[in-house]
Amino acid sequence: MQGDTFKITVKIAARTIQLNIPRADEEKFRNAARRLNNLIAYYRKKYSEIAESDNELILLMSAFHLGVDFFEESERNDMFPLLEKLEKMGEEIDERLDLSK
């Protein structure tokens, strides 16, 4: 299975990281690095007075932001089965209303 993985290099917060990843996941990893770098830049700009002296805090805030995004997305995905059931119920109601005419 070694052929299914390969090494990529990403730069996050001015640090270069080499990762062995599944070939099919390259875009996800590159997008994740880009998203994290964008958040780091956002928090550095927003908190410029501490950004130079407390790089760790900027990284923690960025990671926390991603964690919140993850849980919000998880909650949205948990709603999908409920939405499917509601849609089916709506279709059944429409059918019964049509039959009663």
* pLDDT tens, position by position, 20-39: 999 999 999 999 999 999 99
Could you list the residue range(s) of the whole structural domain that residue 6 is in?
Answer: 2-99
Give residue 1's pLDDT band: very low, low, confident or very high (50, 70, 90): very low
Predicted confidence at residue 100, as pLDDT, reads 65
Instruction: Give this prediction's pTM.
Output: 0.67
Specify the number of domains making up the chain. 1
77 CB contacts (<8 Å, ≥6 apart)? none
C-alpha–C-alpha distance, residues 17 and 66, integer Å: 19
Residues in the chain: 101
pLDDT in tens, 72-92: 887 776 777 777 888 888 888
The tens digit of pLDDT for each residue in 44-83 reads: 999 888 877 888 888 999 999 999 998 888 777 677 777 7
pLDDT > 90: what percent of the chain? 48
pLDDT at 93: 81
Alpha-carbon distance of 13 to 51, in angstroms, equals: 12
Contact yes or no for 13/37 (Cβ under 8 A): yes
Q: Which two tokens stand for residue 32?
A: 């994740």
8-state DSSP, 53: T
Which tokens sit at 18?
Answer: 């080499």
